[in-house]
Structure 1
Amino acid sequence: MGMRSVAVACGALTLCLALTTATNPGFVVRITQAGLDYAQQQGIAILEKELAQLKLPDFSGKSGKVHYSFSSLRIPSFRLPYSRITPIPNVGLQVSISNAFAELNGDWRVKFLFIKGHGSFNVKVQNVNMKIILRLGSDTSGRPTISTSGCTATISNVRVRFSGKLAWLYNLFHRIIERKLRKTLESKVCDNVARSVQNELQKQVRTLPVTARIDDKIGIDYSLVAPPRATTQSLDLDLKGEFYSLAHRSPVPFSPLPLAFPSDHERMVYFGASSYFFNTAGIAYHEAGALVFEITEAMIPKEAGFRLDTYLFSAFIPQLEEMYPNMPMKFKLSTPTAPFLTIGEGGISFQPIVDIQAYAILPNSSLAPLFLLSLTGNVSAVINVRSGRIVGSLDVGRIRLSLKDSAVGTFQVHFVQSIMNYLTSSVLLPRLNARLDEGFRLPLPDRIQLSNILVRFHQNFLLLGADVRFQPRG
């Protein structure tokens, strides 16, 4: 084999591997059969309204010497009492409707030899059965798409009743009229279903956020990494689930791990937020310079009983009293690297490393660096869902300090341990938790509310379960 053949073979192999290697999601949404059942209730209510506005064409014909025409066909009601949505693996969803019924009204005209007449008619349509296949996919932006790939409608019972002069003529050939109406309805019902899917369902699906802006610095990428996947029991959406800086988006230096999603089906919808999802948040906020905090005298609660100044620390650092006597101080906290958390059955935990630079504030408001501490500690997180957002709070265990640099001589850091414990728990942590309490938006379409929240921890991901309720426009 020549070098060119080898190169072609290697290129083909690389392409095949690229096509067959699936991208693991950072975030998974699972809609269970219970969720599909609820969606079916909401969708059928919309479809009933759409079918009640069905526009049927006028039609005319001839039976023997009788010329007839029908016009102003309207549907006062269309009821779909029995229906179900079921996932079809590798296809999408199947909507089955049985024993539906409708009522039609309209006007008729007849001409028989030299006799003319007109009146109204009423049609009872029963035993309407429909089967609709909804194909699911995704567009180039990673947004889900839904379309009707198949629709069949059969009507087994149509009964027409005429009123007005010469109504007896119509009753002589009512079967012809019923057959025409049945064929017209069977065709138009599927046309309206396709239109309803395009105008209503697809419009609602397109409100699913592909990106969610958190603040002026950070966003979340919720785009699909693959088309929605139907199984026999659920519908799964694999999302990228990645935080990113709005100013500059750089590649994440690691990939999401596979999620061993449990087979829970008690709730209507489940969300799987992987450790990758949360760790990209740490990277994005770190790169955006958002993990920098300052602690000043104004932030110290009055009940603390001390002031943040050099006098407080001079008892442990004698040189402070000589170099910067009785001057206010400020601490600047920053993370040298992005925090990295782990998720296990016990919850979320991480051990961040924080640099604490202490400054003296000189009379001219300039800053004199005093010392640099390194802080580490065990941090755990509590997670919940509120108003369609993931919210949380942090709890910090005992912190550990080490001295990295000092412009005021060496000192024993354990002397300042209690002060730093207080500043961390009473000043820094409440501010962090206030931000986390604002939360991050879940990938939900408009007007969807969650209830009956479930929170569970699994290896490498957080599982959130909920029931849903669709909020109509007010």
Structure 2
Amino acid sequence: MLFLWCVLVLVNLVSVATGTSAGVKVRLTQKGLEYGQQIEIDSIQQKLKTIKLMDMSGTEKLDIGKVEYSITGSPMKQRDSKSFSDLPYRMQIVNLGLPKSAVGFVPGTGILLSVANAYITLRGNWRVKYLRRDTGSFDLAVNELAVSSNIEVKSDGTGHPTVSMTNCAATVGSVKVKLHGGASWLYSLFSSFMNTALHKALQKQICRSVTDSFADMNSFLKSLNAKVDQYAEIEYTMVESPVISNTMIELGFKGEFYNIGQHKEPPFSPKPFSLPSQETNMLYMGVSAFSINSASFVYHRAGALRLYITDDMIPSDSSNRLNTKTFGTFIPQIEKTYPGLMMKLLFETVKEPLITCEPNNMTIQASGMMTAFAIQSDGTLSPLFVLNLEGSVSTNIYVSGLKLAGHVTLDKIHMSLAKSYVGSFQVTSLDDIFTTVLKVAVIPKVNAQLKEGYSLPATVKMQLQKTQIQVLKDYVLIGTDVQVTA
């Protein structure tokens, strides 16, 4: 059932938000559906094994006369000898098999689940009253059982799907009863009854069990939105109608980062993109540059892309120290005005970094400021100068668990003087110092955040296997197989 949760995330919606291109696309292939089929059948089988039919009683008119009967799961000695009314005991299934099943895509609609040649063995106790009272036990074998159900997913009005079965039919091919104790004429009574009342009860319980196997899906489908950290969350509502064919389902999610509690749209929109026709893996996910850039917008807006850098963040073996003596070598006025003081740098972005995706290449362009301070003996900060920074980094992305993670390396940096409190100086003289600072202090902090990763639209009870990632034009393609965990 757990993997079919992911299947049903991709099923047709009657009402979805329109007019917005998807930030994240997910495609389930025939290979994925075939894997999910057996997991779902195993889940239904476990549900069916818990069926316990309520006690039954009634009267049948036979050739010999009127016969009063009771069928129960409890030993007869525990029942009231003067009454045939139902007690809180139930007949139980002792054997069950679903040897033949099929799950298929229904183009433009959803999923059809069918089971054939199933069998059930039921055990219970009986009692009859005709001239005298008689009791015993029975085994009921139901063969050639078939179940068929159509699964539909509708929007709840907010873009989240709700799962329901539009119909369920259970048919029984044959019923055989083996009685233990009693007279032979009882077989005609029980044969007649099993093919009527008990047949209807089984049909109802079987469809109820199939329905129960999907009962937990709605809460899961509503939980796809994922909190990333104290700054951001990802919205995975659906924004376009799915494409459903005989071999696959493809669905578009919003896939947008928002500040927690403040859903402000960024000043850019997703570009349409199409997943390539690949069927090697069970599941394909396309994560657009828009989704990644919406994260950049959110973190910049939240003030999370700012960092104070102090000398203890610089490797001890580095000759470049954050103090006025080191900087005074290049800017004498600093050492003259603030002799013997430690320094602190503030790095912050001035606008959201821009991520671009080209075939086999992802880069990030960032614009920021670096403000240098001298730390006075009382802890106050005296500004020294402000630099404009323009830089680019190369990005390597990978899947870690159920998250998309990354690692960046500095390609180039250009600095210019924005403001100075210590007179004019040649900014290029500080290239080595600030390149060191960025590489050993800023980039590691960025990589630590990227290593945490960002949740993909998946249940926590699955593992991704044989995962491959490609950077394509305007999006990243993830192809993966899936293994459901217990």
TM-score range, shorter chain: 0.7 to 0.9
Deviation at 1:43, TM superposition (A): 2.1
Q: Separation in 2 of the partners of 1:227 and 1:149?
A: 20
Distance 2:296 2:380 in 1: 31
Give the whole-Å Cα distance in 2 for the aligned partners of 1:164 and 1:201.
Answer: 46
SS of the residue 2:295 aligns to = helix
Q: Say whether 1:291 aligns with 2:305.
A: yes
> 2:145: which partner in 1?
128
Q: Which residue in the other structure is 2:420 paired with?
A: 406
1:20 deviates by 9.6
CA RMSD of aligned residues (A): 2.4
Instruction: Show the counterpart of 2:462.
Output: 448
Kindly indicate whether the alpha-carbon contact (under 8 Å) linking 1:209 and 1:222 is maintained by their aligned counterparts in 2: no
In structure 1, the residue matched to 2:192 is: 176
Counterpart in the other structure of 2:87: none
The superposition leaves residues 154-186 of structure 1 with CA deviations (integer Å, 9 ceiling, x where unpaired) of 2212222222120x1133466524422434423
- Tell me which residue corresponds to 1:272: 286
**Distance (whole Å) between structure 2 residues aligned to residue 238 and residue 189 of structure 1:** 34
Q: Which residue of 1 aligns with 2:164?
A: 147
Residue 266 of structure 1 aligns with an amino acid whose one-letter code is T
Structure 2 vs 1, CA of residues 382 and 209 (structure 1 numbering), >3 Å: closer, same or farther? Answer: farther
Residue matched to 1:104: 122
Task: After superposition, give the CA deviation of every residue in 1:221-273 in whole Å (9 maximum; x if it has no partner).
Answer: 12233566533222334221111112533222222111211222222222221
2:257 aligns with one of 243, 252, 260:
243
* Secondary structure at 1:404 match in 2: strand
Q: 1:86 aligns with which of 104, 107, 118?
A: 104
- Confirm whether residue 162 of structure 1 aligns to residue 179 of structure 2: yes
Pairwise CA distance, 1:338: 0.6
| Contact 2:16–2:239 (CA under 8 A) maintained in structure 1 | no
Q: Assess if the C-alpha contact under 8 Å between 2:101 and 2:116 holds in 1.
A: yes
CA distance in structure 1 between the aligned counterparts of 2:431 and 2:122, rounded to whole angstroms:
82
SS in 1 for 2:433: helix
Distance 1:388 1:400 in 2: 36
| Other structure's SS at 1:277 match | helix
Partners of 2:96 and 2:162 in 1: CA distance? 27
CA shift for structure 1 position 450: 2.3
Partner of 1:77 in structure 2?
95
- With over 3 angstroms needed to count, the CA separation of the structure-2 counterparts of 1:245 and 1:264, relative to structure 1, is same
| Alignment-derived partner of residue 24 in structure 2 | 27
CA change 1:102–1:228 in 2 (3 A) is: farther
Answering whether residue 365 of structure 2 is matched by residue 351 of structure 1, we say yes
State the partner residue of 1:12.
Answer: none
Tell me what 1:4 maps to: none
Of 322, 326, 331, the match for 2:336: 322
Indicate the larger mover: 222-231 or 68-77: 222-231
With over 3 angstroms needed to count, the CA separation of the structure-2 counterparts of 1:20 and 1:426, relative to structure 1, is closer
Instruction: Write the mapping of 1:306-321 to structure 2, written as runs, cut at 5 A.
Output: 306-321=320-335
Which residue of 292, 301, 316 corresponds with 2:315?
Answer: 301
CA distance in 2, matches of 1:174, 1:309: 96
Q: CA deviation at 1:202?
A: 3.7
Greater mean alpha carbon deviation, residues 289-298 or residues 239-248: 239-248
State whether residues 142 and 210 of structure 1, in contact with CA within 8 Å, keep that contact through their aligned partners in structure 2. Answer: no
**Percent identity for Structure 1 against Structure 2:** 32
Residue 195 of structure 1 corresponds to: 212
The TM-score normalised by the length of structure 2 is: 0.86
Distance 1:37 1:457, change over 3 A: same
The answer to whether 1:254 aligns with 2:280 is no
TM-score, structure 1 as length reference: 0.88
Report Cα offsets for 1:185-221 as digits up to 9, x if no partner: 23432233223322x4445x34x63422222222221
State which of 49, 53, 58 in structure 2 corresponds to 1:56: 53
Q: Secondary structure at the match of 1:257?
A: coil
Which stretch has the larger CA shift, 293-302 or 185-194?
185-194
State how far apart, in whole Å, the 2-side matches of 1:467 and 1:59 are.
52
Distance 1:263 1:20 in 2: 25
Distance 1:33 1:172, change over 3 A: same
SS of 1:305's equivalent? coil
Q: How far apart, in 2, do the equivalents of 1:389 and 1:378 lie?
A: 24
- C-alpha separation in 2, matches of 1:190 and 1:257: 44
For 2:383 and 2:191, how far apart are their aligned partners in 1? 97
- TM-superposed CA distance for 1:325, in Å, is 2.8
Q: Could you tell which deviates more after superposition, 301-310 or 30-39?
A: 30-39
The 2-side partners of 1:211 and 1:188 are apart by 34
Over residues 76-119 of structure 1, what are the superposed CA-to-partner deviations in whole Å (9 max), with x where a residue is unaligned? 1222122222221232211111111111122223344x354222
Q: What stretches of structure 1 of length at least 5 have no aligned partner?
A: 1-17
- SS of 2:291's equivalent in the other structure is helix
Listed one character per residue, the Cα deviations across residues 423-454 of structure 1 (whole Å, up to 9, x for unaligned) are: 11112111111111111122222422222222
Q: Counterparts of 1:306 and 1:356 in 2: how far apart (Å)?
A: 16
CA gap of 1:20–1:373, structure 2 versus 1, over 3 A, is: closer
1:40 aligned residue (37, 52, 65):
37
**Mapped pair 1:389 → 2:403:** yes
Distance 1:160 1:249, change over 3 A: same
Q: Is the 8 A contact 1:209 1:445 kept in 2?
A: no
Cα distance in 2 between the residues matched to 1:273 and 1:63: 70
Q: Show the 5 A alignment for 1:333-372.
A: 333-372=347-386
Equivalent position to 1:117, from 126, 134, 141 = 134
Give aligned pairs, total. Answer: 450
Extract unaligned runs of 5+ from structure 2.
1-14, 73-90
Letter of the 2:119 counterpart: F
Does the 8 Å contact 1:136/1:227 carry over to 2?
A: no
| Range that drifts further, 50-59 or 117-126 | 50-59
Distance 2:200 2:61 in 1: 17
Higher mean alpha-carbon deviation, 314-323 vs 387-396, is at 314-323
Distance 2:104 2:16 in 1: 29
On the 8 A contact 2:29/2:281 being kept in 1, the answer is: yes
After TM superposition, give the deviation of residue 149 of structure 1 in Å. 0.6
Per the alignment, in what secondary structure is the counterpart of residue 255 of structure 1? Answer: coil
| Alignment pair present for 1:463 and 2:480 | no
> What amino acid sits opposite 1:62 in the alignment?
K
SS in structure 2 of the partner of residue 326 of structure 1: coil
